[in-house]
Amino acid sequence: MNSYRHPGLVLTDHRFTVPLDHDDPGGETIEVFAREAVAASKAHEDLPWLVYLEGGPGFGARRFVGTEAWLGRAVREFRVLLLDQRGTGLSTPANRQTLPLRGGAREQADYLAHFRSDAIVRDCELIRPRLTGGAPWTVLGQSFGGFCAVRYLSAAPEGLERVLITGGLPSLDGHADDVYRAAYPRIERKVAAHYARYPQDVERARAITAYLAEHRPDSAGHRLTPEGFQSLGILLGGGTGSHQLHHLLENAFVTGPHGTELSDTFQEAMRTATSFAGHPLYALMHEAIYGQGARPTDWSAERVRAEFPQFDARTALEGQGPVLFTGESIHPWHFETDPALRPLRETAELLAARTDWPALYDTERLAANEVPVAAAVYHDDMYVDTGHALRTAASIRGLRTWVTSEFEHDGLRAGGPRVLDRLLALVRGESDR
């Protein structure tokens, strides 16, 4: 273990060896990395543990500088474990460079089938007694981390002291089609709100889309397309995302010796915003996190999008309507345009066709839950359907919800201590609302 200091914190790096397949504990192993954070003034105290599960899938735990955001509130009473879920961050990586070591596409897909919330929870349960001496701990799950927390309640509630969920209550039995069928109308509302705030962006978006449809520029091997441009709508799910998108669009064009063209600045910003080089598991596993039973996900977001023709960019250009941005969805074309994903196209196809996903949630166990749980549900969250979230909340015995329109999906980061304070008060029965 390696310990060092940040302002107000003592950080300690941990590495754990876990089975790739927990049903085969004597088989292949991988490494899971986690960073412990404790207040410098309490570094030698016997504090309860809180493990943080990041959103995603496919993102390592957030790298904080000192006690920023919610972490400063957490270390007032907890020893915090920032877990890089398997395949992310400093855990054994899974990407275009490492997956070929598994073999061909079939072997890669079989390997990645072990990278869902069920395996992440079993990693946690293997790690927990090594750190706590067997005592249960508190879980804080953001977005997909909340999906993992609900799986935790289903599979190993004995390991939990309490559970805090922010923007991450999954549908317990919905297929990916149900998720995206509910998502596209929400995304359309977010786009309409953006255009109402910045009406000048309607023509800018049309001009950018038309340029990309005609020219198809290449930025560092990343093919820039109208569909890729539309995917910038993922920004609209964050509290400042509409402003970020506007600032990106306002710098789109320059005039050079050959006329008007997309600026290098815009092309680089678009490439950076839409690249999966830093989080390929997000693209590979995004629909797999909804897989349960024999029905394949089968590129759900792409199929369901056809039910909402207003999202077709070329149709928008042929008429007078606005180009609609999309959001948190993965499509086959991602594996053609992004050099970080291109070698993994066949692997992604096999995952989309998979028909043996095990169930993730135990509804009977959740209905009999005894672990204190509180969840922040963000009103009209672009990433997680509010209706689905509230139905799940009603299915988990004792879960207390805080439904708020004050924050978007990134409320835990943006609201920091306030969000964590509210959830702790709810889960401890210190707040009536």
Give pLDDT tens digits for 285-331. Answer: 999 999 999 999 999 999 999 999 999 999 999 998 899 999 889 99
Domain end, chosen from 353, 375, 390, is at: 353
* Domain enclosing residue 157, as ranges: 2-173+361-427
Domain assignment present for residue 230? The answer is yes
Q: Which residues pair with 376 in a beta bridge?
A: 166, 402
User: Same domain, yes or no, for 140 and 212?
Assistant: no
Tokens matching residue 310 = 């207003």
**CA nearest to 121, candidates 99, 144, 98:** 144
Q: Are the CB atoms for 225 and 212 separated by under 8 Å?
A: yes
**How many other C-beta atoms lie within 10 A of the C-beta of residue 36?**
18
Which residues have a Cβ under 8 Å from the Cβ of 405 and sit 6 or more positions away? Answer: 378, 379, 380
Q: For position 433, what pLDDT does the model report?
A: 56
Q: For position 320, what pLDDT does the model report?
A: 86
Q: For position 123, what pLDDT does the model report?
A: 98
User: Same domain, yes or no, for 120 and 134?
Assistant: yes
User: Same domain, yes or no, for 286 and 332?
Assistant: yes
Structurally, the chain folds into a number of domains equal to 2
Q: Which residues pair with 19 in a beta bridge?
A: 29
Give pLDDT tens digits for 188-221. Answer: 999 999 999 999 999 999 999 999 999 989 988 9
Domain assignment present for residue 38? The answer is yes
Angle at 237 between CA 235 and CA 242, to 5 degrees: 55
User: Same domain, yes or no, for 261 and 154?
Assistant: no
What residues act catalytically? 143, 356, 409
Q: Is the peptide bond before 332 cis (omega within 30 degrees of 0)?
A: no
User: Same domain, yes or no, for 339 and 199?
Assistant: yes
Distance CA 190, CA 193 (A): 5
Domain end, chosen from 304, 326, 353, is at: 353
Average pLDDT over residues 77-105: 98
Distance CA 282, CA 56 (A): 6
User: Same domain, yes or no, for 209 and 273?
Assistant: yes
pLDDT category at 109 given cuts 50, 70, 90 is very high
User: Same domain, yes or no, for 155 and 233?
Assistant: no
Domain assignment present for residue 433? The answer is no
In this predicted structure, the answer to whether residue 393 has a pLDDT above a threshold of 60 is yes
Domain end, chosen from 328, 353, 378, is at: 353
Domain assignment present for residue 37? The answer is yes
User: Same domain, yes or no, for 167 and 313?
Assistant: no
Domain assignment present for residue 49? The answer is yes
Domain assignment present for residue 267? The answer is yes
Domain assignment present for residue 432? The answer is no
User: Same domain, yes or no, for 114 and 258?
Assistant: no
User: Same domain, yes or no, for 266 and 379?
Assistant: no
pLDDT category at 432 given cuts 50, 70, 90 is low
Which residues have a Cβ under 8 Å from the Cβ of 347 and sit 6 or more positions away? Answer: 99, 105, 108, 109, 112, 284
User: Same domain, yes or no, for 374 and 399?
Assistant: yes
In this predicted structure, the answer to whether residue 431 has a pLDDT above a threshold of 80 is no
**CA nearest to 147, candidates 129, 130, 123, 163:** 163
What count of residues does the chain have?
A: 433
Percent of the chain residues past pLDDT 70, beyond the cut: 99
Tokens matching residue 162 = 């309490």
CATH of the domain at 110: 3.40.50.1820
Q: Which amino acid is at 349?
A: E
Which of 193-200's residues contact partners 24+ apart within 8 Å by CB, and which partners? 193/236, 193/242, 194/236, 194/242, 194/245, 194/246, 194/325, 195/322, 197/242, 197/246, 198/242, 198/246
pTM: 0.96
Where does 261-377 have alpha helices with state H? 264-274, 280-285, 300-305, 313-318, 334-337, 345-353, 363-367
Distance CA 396, CA 155 (A): 13
User: Same domain, yes or no, for 206 and 330?
Assistant: yes
Distance CA 22, CA 3 (A): 29
β-strands 29-39, 79-84 pairing: antiparallel
